C-alpha cells in the first residue's frame, strides 16, 4: 500500500477524533500509521472492518461476563 492510502487513513482518523472530541468524549484513535500497519490496516475500509471486529468482540465479551 502506498503513502496515499496512509494519508487518507490519517485524515479519516483525525476527522473521527474531531467528532469524538466535539461530543465531549476523552478516548481517541491513534493516527499513527505505523501503529495501524502493525494490525495490517492501511485503508479506511480496513480500519472500519477492524473497528467492527473489535466492537463485535467486545459485545460478545460483555455478554459472557454478564451471563
Give per-residue pLDDT as tens, 7-65. 999 999 999 999 999 999 989 999 999 999 999 999 999 999 999 999 999 998 878 77
HSE-up (13 A, CA, CB side) for residue 1: 16
Residue 12 lies in domain:
3-66
Cβ atoms of 54 and 17 closer than 8 Å: no
pTM of the model: 0.80
CA distance 54 to 5: 22
Kindly tell me if the per-residue pLDDT of 1 is higher than 70.
no
pLDDT recorded at residue 63: 80
Q: Are the C-beta atoms of residues 9 and 36 closer than 8 Å to each other?
A: yes
The total domain count for the chain is 1
Amino acid at each position: 500500500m502506498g503513502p496515499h492510502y496512509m494519508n487518507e487513513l490519517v485524515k479519516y482518523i483525525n476527522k473521527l477524533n474531531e467528532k469524538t472530541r466535539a461530543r465531549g468524549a476523552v478516548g481517541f484513535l491513534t493516527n499513527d500509521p505505523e501503529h495501524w500497519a502493525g494490525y495490517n490496516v492501511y485503508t479506511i475500509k480496513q480500519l472500519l472492518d477492524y473497528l467492527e471486529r473489535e466492537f463485535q468482540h467486545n459485545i460478545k465479551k460483555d455478554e459472557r461476563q454478564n451471563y
